[in-house]
Structure 1
């Protein structure tokens, strides 16, 4: 027994000795041989590094109103084990789905409920897992988060617990206060903070800033260790960007576009507002659009910025180029006549939309938007080389260089005579809205083609130091200042002539407006030739003509006009008028009459000799002074005028002229005129005038005593005059037999011009 005990003790002692030797050996190996490496590995586990995210720069309008900024957001995280522990599975599933669901489709709500439920009932490999609900519960707005907070408090009361496994993790996301406002221009940053499109993507290097970092040592619970090494690199916030956009004008644009879009249901509708003197873009919008705060709910076509990324055959708005070239070359005589209707060019016959006008003047051809007039001016008189030269000068066929991503250059590739001829009125080539805007601005500002831009400056948000400023840039002088002024006056007649002007619905009371309509047939996709009932309808104009402050382009692609192109002016002109009239008031621009009245105190002009001019020529000559002209008689040429040539006149003056071939001049209807104006007419016609009452002419009678006519005027105050029914014409003029009232001329509705071309184009 003793031997056995001794042997057992020896064996046990030997085992412990071996274990001790092995332990000492292992300690030596760990501490001495691998100690340095293990310490380095431990430090890696102790250390933690947090990325400090910079604040993305803010995008504002020209008046520092915020268009895009970083804002607080929250992400929903769930602890399924805890939710199940308190038997809140059903309540959490139903409650969260009801708040996070944005669809009206019951199937979408059911799908979201199943998605949340599956996360709660799933068994995870780690204890107390934390799972997120993406994408519906990822970076939600503070308003939605507040609703969830209220529900969580109710669930806590129900479970009698302070933690029921539903958390709101603080985060930030990109927020667009205006919602859909300027959406295609701004673009958006997604929930992963990636700039996807628009200015957000183009200016990403300016906006994103530089991330920082924080490194320190921590224990297993994430608590910082005493005397740990701390390394801190601060984040550098992104720069702010100030745009040329004016948020108010942007609102006017989008409000007007939305009305037109909902009424006419085009494939798309686009508008650009610009300061023609600098080509700063004041507003830019396309419909349909999208909400960058909910970009995932949009369709692919909603993201396209048609102002720069869509090209189309412009139609009659392109006639500006032909007109400007003809005026610059001295070959446009507004009173020369031509035979409208159709014109033959090598390879085809081109037509006006109306073939019954007969011989008309070129100025009337502009007002009526006659294609034949511009074929004769551009193809026959300018010639192919000069026509192409002016197209190039005005910037067509090349990008404008606007600081907006996605710009296309358009296509200008005329080869045969027909293509050159149709190019004179804007078919057979393509252009963009921004190219057209820049071209019209060149006429409005005195002949300078300028590079459009939407970024005004980039600056440091903390120091306010300006990093980069974008100044207005002149590309080239395309026509002389005198030519630009003359073309503006011609374009003004398109709007001011309320009888035949295709742009008459763009007239704004008190302001001089210039502009041009366009209605271009569209090519049938996959077929040769043009679709008979699909058009691009447009209007481009600016005001006030004497000192333009606002230029607006409106484009409607395939509006639903029921096959009637004559409705083109109803699609675009009301929107133009709404935008421009609101903008002029917002800018505080005085009316043209007010400006002329103010200038009259300082500036007087000498009355020119109008004898021998037509009425149209006289209006153009006097329009620059804001002076009204009234004709007496029905001849074609002016023979007399009042005031006489050489008389000093101001803007408040009214000019009266008598027309050739009117020997027995009749007294015109003076109703509504002031006594002063009525007396001037009577004096000019050598008639005796007497009046009763005070105010403005309400009625008149004309009697004759030998060769002298006696005019008796009944006057009433203006407010009473407004309430008085229009009297029958009591002038001594002839009356319309059917109505018994004085004939006032053709009141038929002027229509916009479809740029009809009966020729196959090579595209």
Structure 2
């Protein structure tokens, strides 16, 4: 037995050793794995796990940067950031508190907040009942009055741990719709979505900061020595070239056009400094409100209502989105149109610059010009006759004259000149979504394409591109870069960056520019097609245009929609301003640019030029009435006599107590009478006559007989001229006004075609 036991012991020893060896190897492998992983975690994954631990023991709170302001050229505020509040609640805490207190807080909260904030009670109550979360937004962008009412409700009802408020920032546009298409708007996160807000988003937005602090196991903040503060960097502000007075004047005229001429596809206009390219005003009718950009304007709303689509249907929602996109688009920059006869300025300037024509050349027009076997018509069916000058051809907007010039220039020369005037490149204006010119490829320009292009048809340009090209004629031949932002400033008003004017190139000589400008001015002051653009006392150079739209045709394949436009600049013999107005699809009987655009361009000029300090020159039909109130009646009488203005004194007092017209009003000198009241009697009420459609002489007689003063705009030598009629009057017919009040009459020539 002892031998057997000894034998078994010797046999077990190698097995034990093997097991020990295997265990040791396994331990070494595990140890090596452990050390390797510790090394990997310590050296290669150190930052990752450090951040994980850091996130577990710290929390952060965002510090929002304040978005910069946008100002006009005179530092009037156009866009700013203000404080609003978000009201939110915790459905989880509401349920817990209801269970503990046995009170229906959900009903109480839904009832109170729906009344104060104008939200749907049942919808809010459903969110409270059917969710179990810490944060449900009841309403964003709550104004201060509502916010204070909510605070009172929370305090009165003891809801401090269930309903909460959070201060936020919201973009605000103090002037409402003014310059909406230029300014654009921001989204709910304050990110720029359109216009300058989008183009300069990074400049305006600034950089958010944050506050980082340590927290204990219960999530409570530890003392401040464990906190770090990274301050926000507020955004910079923009100082634009826009002038609120001129912007308002332009917008007012565009709305008049839209209403008076029943425009179907919006009206747009620009006022620009011809030397620098600074945009003084830019607008499109009808402007939306950037404070509420997702609400359609009245015109778009009417189109939606007239669509016949069922509210709530997919088609209805799609059409509403389409209308909204159109409403937001800046028509002056993002859309193209056929410039029509306003382009004839470029054709004439090109011919003179290339030396293929002179001002002494003679032309003829029989009502059409034959090109490539086609009779391409002039707007004047009977023709302009023969032996007339180039100046006459431009002033009368003769198509055959332009086609003859284009033949002399040649296809390649014409194409090159169009490029020189900047049409084949974007203007570079600092606004988003600038469209590009649509023009014939050089190899596709045949005789017919060249002929129609000479008078601005069968190609498309942007409104800003057309005005920039014409400004090159106005400023003496330089193609400038239009711009909207003059400088960027910080919160202290210090200049960060400033615009530097850019002349891209010279496109024509000063001599050619002066010659063309003089011809255009003579067409306004004389009997040219642009005479409706006249402004008393100023040299206005202008060209009207009416183009066909070939995108939409009638059942017979004919174009029936029109675009009427006018471009003008003043003074015509030096640096100044240029104005363009484009009327897309007027639906009234007369659609010519000389009627639907020219007189409104004149009105913008009449307001902008004296405001900008351009002095009147030459004869004036109008005078500004002085304020005589408080003046001795004899002094007032002498002043009126010296000014050549008729007057009437009512009463026996020695001091002027009241007057009509009032001080500052403009009247036509030879046709007006100032009434001075020296006693406490009130001016007599009288009914305004209907003067529309009357000649100047007839309107004057009727107004004077009724007891009114008049101020006549739009026509020179208005009492003797033929063909001009009253198109508009400032006081509505049938309304009641005071004896001596001024009726502003706008006279137009309806025999002008373009």
Say if 1:565 and 1:752, in contact at 8 Å, map to a contact too: no
Partner of 2:515: 486
Aligned twin of 2:337: 312
Are the counterparts in 2 of residues 317 and 426 from structure 1 also a CA contact under 8 Å?
yes
Q: Separation in 1 of the partners of 2:599 and 2:433?
A: 29
Secondary structure of 2:74's aligned partner: coil
Q: Which residue of 1 aligns with 2:28?
A: none
What stretches of structure 2 of length at least 5 have no aligned partner? 1-37, 297-323, 621-640, 647-667, 674-695, 699-718, 725-748
**Residue 119 (structure 1) aligns with:** 127
What are the within-5 Å matches in structure 2 for residues 656-667 of structure 1?
none
- How has the CA–CA distance of structure 1 residues 98 and 452 changed in structure 2, closer, same or farther, with 3 Å as cutoff? farther
Per-residue CA deviation, residues 24-71 of structure 1 (Å, 9 max, x unaligned), is xxxxxxxxx9xx999997764331112222222222222222222221
Aligned counterparts of 2:229 and 2:330: Cα–Cα separation in 1: 43
In structure 2, how many angstroms separate the alpha carbons of the residues matched to 1:198 and 1:153? 39
Q: Is the 8 A contact 1:184 1:289 kept in 2?
A: yes
Structure 1: how far apart are the matches of 2:669 and 2:295? Answer: 56
Match of 1:375 in 2: 403
SS class of match (1:272) = strand
Q: Is residue 178 of structure 1 aligned with residue 175 of structure 2?
A: yes
- In structure 2, what is the Cα distance between the partners aligned to 1:285 and 1:513? 22
Evaluate the alpha carbon distance shift between residue 585 and residue 726 of structure 1 in structure 2; reply closer, same or farther with a 3 A threshold.
closer
Is structure 2 residue 522 aligned with structure 1 residue 470? no
Shift of 1:163: 4.0
- Using the alignment, how far apart are the partners of 1:571 and 1:90 within structure 2? 60
Cα shift at 1:402: 1.5
CA shift, 1:490, in A, is 0.8
Q: 1:547 aligns with which of 574, 593, 603?
A: 574
Q: How does 1:333-412 map to 2 (within 5 A)?
A: 333=359, 336-360=362-386, 361=388, 362-379=390-407, 381-412=408-439
What is the TM-score when the length of structure 1 is the normalising length? 0.67
1:326 and 2:351 matched: yes
Equivalence map 1:287-302=2 (5 Å)? 287-298=285-296, 299-302=324-327
Deviations 1:99-139 (A, max 9, x none): 656xxxxxxx8xx444323224x14435xx44113xxx212
1:208 to 205, 210, 216: 205
Report the alpha carbon displacement of residue 527 of structure 1 after superposing the two structures with TM: 8.2
What is the aligned partner in structure 2 of residue 455 from structure 1?
485
**Secondary structure of the residue that 2:488 maps to in structure 1?**
strand
Match of 1:574 in 2: 599
Relative distance call for 1:538 and 1:43 in structure 2 (3 A) is closer
Match of residue 88 from structure 2: 77
What is the CA–CA distance in structure 1 between the aligned matches of 2:556 and 2:206, rounded to whole Å?
52
Q: Secondary structure at the match of 2:504?
A: strand
CA distance in 1, matches of 2:424, 2:486: 26
Q: In structure 2, which of residues 263, 278, 281 is the aligned counterpart of residue 265 of structure 1? A: 263
Q: Retained in 1: the 8 A contact 2:530–2:598?
A: yes
Judge conservation of contact 2:563–2:591 (CA < 8 Å) in 1: no
Alignment equivalent of 2:723, drawn from 735, 747, 753: 747
Kept after mapping to 2: 8 A contact 1:535/1:565 = yes
**1:447, CA displacement in angstroms?**
0.8
SS of 2:457 mapped into structure 1: coil
2:222 maps to which of 225, 238, 242: 225
2:137 paired residue number: 132
Conservation of the 8 A alpha-carbon contact between 2:566 and 2:598 = yes
Q: Secondary structure, in 3 states, of the residue corresponding to 1:545?
A: coil
Judge conservation of contact 1:524–1:530 (CA < 8 Å) in 2. no
Q: Could you tell me how far apart the structure 1 residues matched to 2:721 and 2:418 are?
A: 39
Question: Structure 2 length normalisation: TM-score?
Answer: 0.68
2:544 aligned with 1:517: yes
Cα distance in 1 for residues equivalent to 2:345 and 2:364: 19
Contact 1:253 1:285 in 2 (8 A): yes
Deviation at 1:221, TM superposition (A): 6.6
CA distance in 1, matches of 2:346, 2:51: 75
Q: CA deviation at 1:469?
A: 2.0
Measured after TM superposition, the shift of residue 147 of structure 1 is 3.0
CA deviation map 1:324-363 (0-9, x unaligned): 1223326143672412411101141110122124415243
Q: SS of the counterpart of 1:390?
A: helix
Contact 2:154 2:160 in 1 (8 A): no
Q: Distance in 2 between matches of 1:529 and 1:450?
A: 43
Q: How far apart, CA to CA, are the structure 2 residues paired with 1:569 and 1:530?
A: 27
1:370-401 alpha-carbon deviations (Å, 9 max, x no partner): 2112112222x333333223212111122112
For residues 581 and 460 of structure 2, what CA distance do their matches in structure 1 show? 16
Residue in structure 1 matched with residue 584 of structure 2 by the alignment? 557
Shift of 1:321: 0.6
Residue 65 of structure 2 is matched in structure 1 by 54
Change (3 A) 1:246 1:167: same
Find the aligned partners of 1:205 and 1:336 in 2 and give their Cα distance.
Answer: 58
CA contact (8 A) 1:56 1:69 kept: yes
Whether 1:237 and 2:234 are equivalent positions in the alignment is yes
Residue 420 of structure 1: CA displacement? 0.2
Query: Does structure 2 retain, via aligned residues, the 8 Å contact 1:347–1:418?
Result: no
Q: Which of 435, 441, 449 in structure 1 is aligned with 2:465?
A: 435
Q: Indicate whether 1:445 and 2:475 are aligned.
A: yes
Match of 1:589 among 600, 614, 632: 614
Q: Is the aligned partner of 1:425 residue 2:463? A: no
* 1:147 matched residue in structure 2: 146
SS of 2:233's equivalent? coil
Judge conservation of contact 1:73–1:139 (CA < 8 Å) in 2: yes
Unaligned stretches of 5+ in structure 1? Answer: 1-32, 102-108, 596-692, 699-717, 728-742, 755-763
Post-superposition shift, 1:307? 1.3
Matches of 2:137 and 2:599, distance apart in 1: 50
1:220 shift after superposition: 6.2
Native 8 Å contact 2:58 2:215 kept in 1: yes
- Give, in whole Å, the separation in 1 of the partners of 2:506 and 2:365: 34
In the TM superposition, what whole-angstrom CA distance separates every residue of 1:589-620 from its partner, at most 9, and x where no partner exists? 2112399xxxxxxxxxxxxxxxxxxxxxxxxx
Q: CA RMSD in A?
A: 3.6
Matched, 1:283 2:287: no
Which whole-Å CA distance do the structure 2 matches of 1:156 and 1:227 have between them?
30
When residues 450 and 231 of structure 1 are mapped into structure 2, their CA distance, relative to the original with a 3 A threshold, is same
* Partner secondary structure for residue 523 of structure 1: coil
- Judging changes above 3 Å, is the alpha-carbon distance between structure 1 residues 745 and 753 closer, same or farther for their aligned structure 2 residues? closer
Residue aligned with 1:56, SS: coil
